[in-house]
Amino acid sequence: MSSVELLFRIVIGTLIAAVGGIVIGLAAKGVDRKLHARMQGRVGPPLRQPFYDVLKLFAKDNTVPDNAVGWMFNAAPVICLAGAITLLLYIPFGSILPVLGGHGDLILLLYLLIIPGLAMVVGGFSSGSPYATVGAQREMVTMIGYELPLATAVIAIAAKMNELFPAEPAFALSTIAAHPLWGEMGLLGIIGFAILAMIMVIVTPAELSKIPFDTPEAETELAGGLMVEYSGRNLGLFYLADGVKTVVMGAIIVALFIPHNLSPVFTGIAQGSIGAYMVDFGFFLVKLAAVVFFAVTVLRTAVARLKIAQVVTLYWIPLTMIALLGLILMMWDSVPMLHIAPWLGGA
């Protein structure tokens, strides 16, 4: 493949990923709002409401506060959306390989995940509002809080992959997709892996600033916090970025813990055909919907907003300790004396 063809493929793939991520993200927000309302005994908005909201925001005037740093205030939502879309380029969707597959791994994803949050922080500080400044500070503290259990989970998975498949890159999503860990470990490892999956589910609402971890926005305390001074197109860009990040976080959990595809089950579908891609992508959407339901909808319906001190304490102490327990169990799974799967008839 020539450099021109490669560039064309990347550009087209980026456009498809961006449009697809935005559409799926807005649809996920619509389903989340509808299920959230139903679980509270309300009717809720129509599923297409997020699309209406975006159109309405882009039709409104874009207001910049007099005491804001104008260029920084306007650049923040663009960077936030661009950072979220960039993440999509490194994540597989079913059997559809990522646009930039082979050029990034879990370490890169961890770094890129920081960009949308930092863009929101910069936007809050640049607005000149005291409410937005407090919200930006809370966002920074929340990011510091959940990074530790998130990094622990990623390192545990990579360490196990390196132990089981030393000849392949441990942090590569392609390696994890080719060798789902559920079938490669004994009982201790499976328990540890399930613990790490739970940690990732609890980290997700903090990444998305959803209840109970929405302290940076907290309407009843900060009148909207980070977003209090944003309106029109800028607020619409942040809204789109939130939808894309929802897809990103769900897709990362799917890629790490349930990367299995459905097409191999159907013997009549040839691998690598359009039919196989469609079946696997449909199955990916089902898994993504399940992850968003449990990580976002259920948590924000069942739990009230936490205080910022409670958020940090929760992530730094109990959740980090639980993540370390998952890591230890996965390490112990390789010790012959503790590998109890054979006692249960396992491999």
Q: What pLDDT shows up at residue 224?
A: 63
Q: Identify which has the larger pLDDT, 342 or 28.
A: 28
Cα 141 to its chain centre, rounded Å, is 19
Q: Identify which has the larger pLDDT, 251 or 333.
A: 251
Q: What pLDDT shows up at residue 250?
A: 93
By mean pLDDT, which of 24-38, 167-181, 187-201, 329-343 is the weakest? Answer: 329-343
Q: What pLDDT shows up at residue 267?
A: 66
pLDDT classification of 94: cutoffs 50, 70, 90: confident
Q: What pLDDT shows up at residue 347?
A: 41
Q: Identify which has the larger pLDDT, 104 or 48.
A: 48
Q: Identify which has the larger pLDDT, 335 or 178.
A: 178
Q: What pLDDT shows up at residue 68?
A: 86
Q: Identify which has the larger pLDDT, 347 or 233.
A: 233
Q: Identify which has the larger pLDDT, 267 or 46.
A: 46
Other Cβ atoms less than 10 A from the Cβ of 109: the count is 18
pLDDT classification of 223: cutoffs 50, 70, 90: low
What's the chain look like in SS3?
Answer: CCHHHHHHHHHHHHHHHHHHHHHHHHHHHHHHHHHHHHHCCCCCCCCCHHHHHHHHHHHCCCCCCCCCCHHHHHHHHHHHHHHHHHHHCCCCECCECCCCCCCCCHHHHHHHHHHHHHHHHHHHHHCCCHHHHHHHHHHHHHHHHHHHHHHHHHHHHHHHHHHHCCCCCCCCHHHHHHCCHHHCCCHHHHHHHHHHHHHHHHHHHHHCCCCCCCCCCCHHHHCCHHHCCCCHHHHHHHHHHHHHHHHHHHHHHHHHHCCCCCHHHCCCCCCCCHHHHHHHHHHHHHHHHHHHHHHHHHHHHHCCCCCHHHHHHHHHHHHHHHHHHHHHHHHHCCCHHHCCCHHHCCC
Residue 241 has pLDDT above 90, yes or no: yes
Is 33 within 8 Å of 50 (Cβ atoms)? yes
∠ Cα 75 16 4 (to 5°): 90
pTM of the predicted model, to two decimals? 0.90
- C-alpha–C-alpha distance, residues 149 and 207, integer Å: 12
Residue 342 has pLDDT above 60, yes or no: no
Domains identified in the chain, total number? 1
pLDDT in tens, 208-218: 888 888 877 77
Q: Identify which has the larger pLDDT, 344 or 21.
A: 21
Average pLDDT over residues 259-279: 80
Q: What pLDDT shows up at residue 15?
A: 93
Query: Containing domain of residue 153, as a range?
Result: 3-344
- C-alpha–C-alpha distance, residues 194 and 246, integer Å: 21
Average pLDDT over residues 310-334: 90
Other Cβ atoms less than 10 A from the Cβ of 14: the count is 16
